[in-house]
A and B are shown apart, each in its own frame.
Chain A
């Protein structure tokens, strides 16, 4: 799929933030290589929701490199496929996580060639001293780094703290909640011991406190941008937000990231006050579940041609409303734990009455709060945990909000899973579905953003 084949001319100027996000990414990798060259300890880490691992690694002065981010970059630059092929040629299934395949392939090439492969985008990833996996979000996030030791041959740690089951609602007094918070803090303290042992660096709690506060500020500023996207017309589409996750997910320890989202907020406020939408003639509003096609971030453009804009997306990246951390909590580990627990459980009370699932409930809440007319459900060949709830999501959106869905099959990394012709056909027929369901919803008194002729 090439960008040239997508026909809709952009009439709304791009947000400055989307350009700045790209610059921040380049700067991030430049700094990583400078620090690695200066001998600072490099750690490859899995992303964790609510930035928990990152806060600890950054506070200890690690040079944190995220294979998941690097894989996405390779896919954006459309150079990921050779790495996928190297991975599968070395015995791995082609169905494991696309991020994992890319970086396992990368790891194999590094091992074979004795260093970063030539022409690696952004200088590649420097060799790690240790690797830190996590069970949050999916099994792949620890299995893949455990596997990566085949090529890197360095110690690996796994932080546990799996997704909260839907029968545990957020509470600051429930004994099980308190046990979970203690478990999370214990796991992170074990991580610190692991890093101290393998890198020689020590944790300073004041540094951690400062980073945690920054992380919470970043997430708040980012969340405020999401809130502005509820406006009609929506000032920022999903394809503009995806590149903007960089400061929030990979650089949440940086003051620069707070400023980034504050600036983005200003841009969005200006658009909202002037009634400027992400697309000129917004007619339908869509939610995108779950992960984006990094190799083809312009896919939503197919829907924009008939006035449909993706207004909200990707629960796993969503910064969440500010967590109600207990006033008595001053320990930075505990602040992180309450933040994480909040992120994974805040909708469980509603989920128990409706969808049964935290993630699916988020889509339903978005459907309501963002006045969505439809949903794009992106079934991913190589990401099973993020795909697993999506068929149920389709049922729930229809049952509780009369929102129709379109299933598109593809992948986060492997662009061979897409065909442009099929996408065009699906988008065109979905437009008709949106219109007919909108009429029904309007007639039945459901809230709609743009009224249609009945």
Chain B
């Protein structure tokens, strides 16, 4: 795919981050089909295999909501309201398709609302079970087939095994490259800041996977070679929801923290597991998407006791803290996000019992009223620095 920019690495990240839809519109003018998707669950490999360009739907916490109040109450997920508002304002008019998914209640209901208010030629929906045990995997395979059929019908051809294998390889490479950049934050001080990494992620989600892979290689090269070092500060892991703007992470950094790792929707959850190369690629895809993505929306088989269940469900966060030497964890949930709101006190219980300090913030997605957040983070950072 020809690109008209000479920018590379972190410069290209900044350019793409500020003008997310620019490359997508260029590709569209070259005849490519762009398919917007919500959340971590729509199968990117299927889209890539059909030469569709997956484009993650994000909101804008700096843009006041005006239009979507017509069709969504204000007391629902603000991220979803923001994305629909952008759609109704025409900001997603370049999309040829929209792939929603049943990840949580809000995203699920979007598959009903979006077609009513946003003009996009093609809509599809991936039904995702909430359990991850054998019957759910079996059912998910049927859901995957339905999803694939809908994409193939739209494009007018079927995915060949070779195309699927190629797409899986590309996306696995992409995730591996991103994990490589994450690893740069294990250093003290981290070689790349949390807010910079957030921009890298968002830029990568705005490009076709092949271009994303090249970009990540350039970013790694830039970061490892640059002379300026990030200031050494208390190291913090960020847990939470859809953080689709680096400004939120910047607020935490301005308050004195280095965000060295995350467990968020537009973060490690999207990158931490690969599709295993199984004889039937659907099995590998089903396992990766349903079982391996660690999101509160999925119910993991209960361990029988409360403590056992906490260990079973959240041990990986403790391991992240150990691996990335995080001195504390910020739990950042969004108002009206049920899945995270129920888990936050439990994650807090678990981490505190493990000796890891925790700060729980509930924010409303928009950045206008961020001063109280900054104050609380400052106090938290001072505490963990002692």
The segment from A18-26, A138-146, A323-331 found at the interface with B is A138-146
B130 near A95 with CB under 8 A, answer: no
A152-201 residues with Cβ-Cβ distance < 8 A to B are: 153, 155-158, 160, 162-163, 165-167, 175-176, 179-180, 182-183, 186-187, 190
A139 near B297 with CB under 8 A, answer: yes
- Give A187 to B134 CA distance when docked, in angstroms: 10
- Give A142 to B360 CA distance when docked, in angstroms: 22
> Size band of the B side of the interface?
35 or more
B76 near A388 with CB under 8 A, answer: yes
A93 near B76 with CB under 8 A, answer: no
A391: contacting residue among B72, B104, B115, B133, CB under 8 A: B72
A93 near B105 with CB under 8 A, answer: no
A143: contacting residue among B70, B125, B339, B348, CB under 8 A: B339
B109 near A385 with CB under 8 A, answer: yes
The reply on B11 being an interface residue by CB < 8 A is no
A160 near B136 with CB under 8 A, answer: yes
B73 near A391 with CB under 8 A, answer: yes
A158 near B299 with CB under 8 A, answer: yes
The reply on A392 being an interface residue by CB < 8 A is yes
Chain A, Cβ-Cβ closest to B150: A167
The reply on B188 being an interface residue by CB < 8 A is no
| Residues of chain B lying within 8 A (CB to CB) of residue A90 | 345
| Residues of chain B lying within 8 A (CB to CB) of residue A392 | 71-72, 112-113, 116
B289-345 residues with Cβ-Cβ distance < 8 A to A are: 296-297, 299, 302, 304-306, 309, 333, 335-336, 338-339, 341-345
A356 near B115 with CB under 8 A, answer: yes
Question: What 1/0 flags go to A425-446 for Cβ under 8 Å of B?
Answer: 0000000000000000000000
Instruction: Please indicate which of the listed interface residues A90, A182, A379, A388 has the most CB atoms of chain B within 10 Å of its own CB.
Output: A388
A162 near B130 with CB under 8 A, answer: yes
CB distance from B362 to the nearest CB of A (A): 6
The reply on B32 being an interface residue by CB < 8 A is no
| Residues of chain B lying within 8 A (CB to CB) of residue A116 | none
- Given A162-B102, A165-B125, A388-B73, CB of A95 within 8 Å of CB of B335: yes
A96 near B302 with CB under 8 A, answer: no
| Residues of chain B lying within 8 A (CB to CB) of residue A187 | 131, 135-136
Chain B, Cβ-Cβ closest to A178: B142
The reply on B129 being an interface residue by CB < 8 A is yes
| Residues of chain A lying within 8 A (CB to CB) of residue B344 | 91, 93
- Give A217 to B133 CA distance when docked, in angstroms: 33
A153 near B305 with CB under 8 A, answer: yes
B112: contacting residue among A140, A149, A357, CB under 8 A: A357
| Residues of chain A lying within 8 A (CB to CB) of residue B136 | 160, 183, 187
The reply on A306 being an interface residue by CB < 8 A is no
CB distance from B80 to the nearest CB of A (A): 9
A180 near B333 with CB under 8 A, answer: no
The reply on B52 being an interface residue by CB < 8 A is no
Instruction: Please indicate which of the listed interface residues A139, A140, A147, A351 has the most CB atoms of chain B within 10 Å of its own CB.
Output: A139
A160 near B77 with CB under 8 A, answer: no
| Residues of chain B lying within 8 A (CB to CB) of residue A142 | 130, 299
A385 near B105 with CB under 8 A, answer: yes
Question: What 1/0 flags go to B345-365 for Cβ under 8 Å of A?
Answer: 110110000000000101000
A356 near B112 with CB under 8 A, answer: yes
A379 near B299 with CB under 8 A, answer: no
The reply on B106 being an interface residue by CB < 8 A is yes
A388 near B139 with CB under 8 A, answer: no
| Residues of chain B lying within 8 A (CB to CB) of residue A186 | 135, 138-139
Chain A, Cβ-Cβ closest to B360: A91
B299 near A93 with CB under 8 A, answer: no
- Give A390 to B70 CA distance when docked, in angstroms: 10
B69 near A391 with CB under 8 A, answer: yes
| Residues of chain A lying within 8 A (CB to CB) of residue B302 | 146, 149, 155-158
The reply on B8 being an interface residue by CB < 8 A is no
| Residues of chain A lying within 8 A (CB to CB) of residue B108 | 162-163, 165
Please give me the 10 A-B residue pairs with the lowest Cβ-Cβ distance, nearest first: A186-B135, A91-B345, A143-B342, A183-B139, A158-B299, A357-B112, A179-B142, A385-B105, A156-B302, A93-B341
Residues of B within 8 A of A (CB): 69-73, 75-77, 102, 104-106, 108-109, 111-113, 115-116, 125, 127, 129-131, 133, 135-136, 138-139, 142, 146, 296-297, 299, 302, 304-306, 309, 333, 335-336, 338-339, 341-346, 348-349, 360, 362
Known: A135-B299, A157-B302, A356-B113. 19 other contacts (CB 8 A): A95-B341, A96-B338, A96-B342, A97-B338, A142-B130, A146-B299, A146-B302, A146-B342, A147-B342, A147-B345, A158-B302, A162-B127, A165-B125, A166-B111, A356-B112, A384-B75, A388-B105, A389-B113, A391-B72
- 15 chain-A/chain-B pairs, Cβ below 8 angstroms: A93-B344, A96-B338, A139-B339, A143-B343, A160-B131, A162-B108, A162-B127, A179-B139, A183-B138, A183-B139, A357-B112, A384-B75, A385-B105, A387-B76, A389-B113
